Structure 1
Amino acid sequence: MAIAELGHTGLWVYDLPKMRHFYERVLGLTVTDEDAELGIVFFSARPEEEHHEFVLQTGRTAAIGDKQQHQISWRVETLDDIRAFHDTFVAEGVQVQQEVTHGNAFGIYFFDPEGNRNEVYLRIERDVRQPFRKTIDFGMRSEKIWAEAERLLDDDGDAYQPVQ
């Protein structure tokens, strides 16, 4: 018996229309189902393959700012996707915690309107000991991003140690 993958996750929310708007318009997820009476919306990044990977439902009881989960991470396919999210977050005034290289991934950590931490990330086929987290600017041209990521790895002698 083994887990194959994470199927979906969800959040309790205060302001469903505002949160729906954020995840649908800013992140680009597709609404696949909803029930206004129950106050629930289902989203998918791959609606042709997966009915839903993410759910929002009214009923949050924790104060905004209280930690409900560590983060929700959304994988993207290209560095151009990361750069596009960088530009979107700037344009939309999204609170960004940090833009980083993990050596084996590029990521942008950000907060949704109710303070839940999210990440958009690009996986990089590289074995880098974790945690490795160095700030990088995704507003730069792609070539500069790759060069800066390499420089940051070279500056950290422990980064290339195999993962145990």
Structure 2
Amino acid sequence: MGIVELGHTGLWVNDLDTMRDFYGRVLGLTVTDEDPEHGVVFFSSRPDYEHHEFVIMTGRTAPPGSLLAHQISWRLDGFDALLEYYQRFVAEGTPLQQIVTHGNAFGIYFFDPEGNRGEVYWPTGIEVSQPFRKTLNLDQDPQAILAEAQRLLEENGPAYQPATAGPPQP
């Protein structure tokens, strides 16, 4: 079939300026193109490689609180980035749903200014049967976080090794 990855996704929004600020300044995505007249902004986490991975456009018709997208997840390049996002979200007052270990990844689930759920996550490289979701406390020393995640995995989740398992790709 030829599909190798998700190219991009988008959201209909009410307040383009607020959402542009959140995804640009708070999440740190690069605006690669925009057309205020048509109410659209294109973002990329790697603009030298991909013109856009995420689009916002005015025209949302669903009332506040409607469930639309399940989540939009952004893979991080390291454990330190996860901790930096946690500090940024706390400083910005970004609503957090949960901070978890999935065994194969640590994730911070958050809500953008219009209530859409997002996630930033760091793949650990450990293969773990899913679903596996245990709350993780990021308000501690990094070594203590890693030890807590290991303990949660050992106590609650069997690892698996499928024939095609391998380390996460950058």
Same fold (TM over 0.5): yes
Q: Kindly provide the CA deviation profile for residues 24-63 of structure 1, in whole angstroms up to 9, marking residues without a partner as x.
A: 0000000000001100000000011110000000000011
* Distance in 1 separating the partners of 2:125 and 2:46: 22
1:160 corresponding residue in structure 2: 159
Deviation at 1:142, TM superposition (A): 1.3
Deviation at 1:159, TM superposition (A): 2.5
* Distance in 2 separating the partners of 1:125 and 1:138: 19
* Distance in 1 separating the partners of 2:128 and 2:153: 9
* Distance in 1 separating the partners of 2:140 and 2:78: 15
| Structure 2 SS opposite 1:80 | helix
Check if 1:115 corresponds to 2:121: no
1:52 corresponding residue in structure 2: 52
* Distance in 1 separating the partners of 2:67 and 2:162: 29
> After the TM superposition, which residues 8-19 of structure 1 pair with which residues of structure 2 at under 5 Å, given as runs?
8-19=8-19
Deviation at 1:2, TM superposition (A): 2.3
Check if 1:87 corresponds to 2:87: yes
| Structure 2 SS opposite 1:152 | helix
Q: TM-score, normalised by structure 2?
A: 0.93
Does the CA contact (< 8 Å) of 1:86 and 1:139 recur in 2? no
User: Which amino acid in the other structure matches residue 5 of structure 2?
Assistant: E
Q: TM-score, normalised by structure 1?
A: 0.96
> After the TM superposition, which residues 36-75 of structure 1 pair with which residues of structure 2 at under 5 Å, given as runs?
36-75=36-75
Q: Kindly provide the CA deviation profile for residues 38-89 of structure 1, in whole angstroms up to 9, marking residues without a partner as x.
A: 0000000001111000000000001121111110000001111000011011
| Structure 2 SS opposite 1:122 | strand
User: Which amino acid in the other structure matches residue 159 of structure 1?
Assistant: P
| Structure 2 SS opposite 1:67 | coil
Deviation at 1:155, TM superposition (A): 0.9
Does the CA contact (< 8 Å) of 1:129 and 1:163 recur in 2? no
| Structure 2 SS opposite 1:20 | helix
Runs of 4+ aligned structure 1 residues displaced above 6 Å come to: none
Task: Among all aligned residue pairs of Structure 1 and Structure 2, give the percentage whose two residues are the same amino acid.
Answer: 60
Q: How many residues are paired up?
A: 163
In structure 1, runs of 5+ residues without a counterpart are none
Q: Kindly provide the CA deviation profile for residues 89-119 of structure 1, in whole angstroms up to 9, marking residues without a partner as x.
A: 1100000000000000000000000000000
User: Which amino acid in the other structure matches residue 54 of structure 1?
Assistant: F
* Distance in 1 separating the partners of 2:9 and 2:126: 27
Deviation at 1:128, TM superposition (A): 0.4
Query: RMSD between aligned alpha carbons?
Result: 1.2
| Structure 2 SS opposite 1:120 | strand
In structure 2, runs of 5+ residues without a counterpart are 164-170
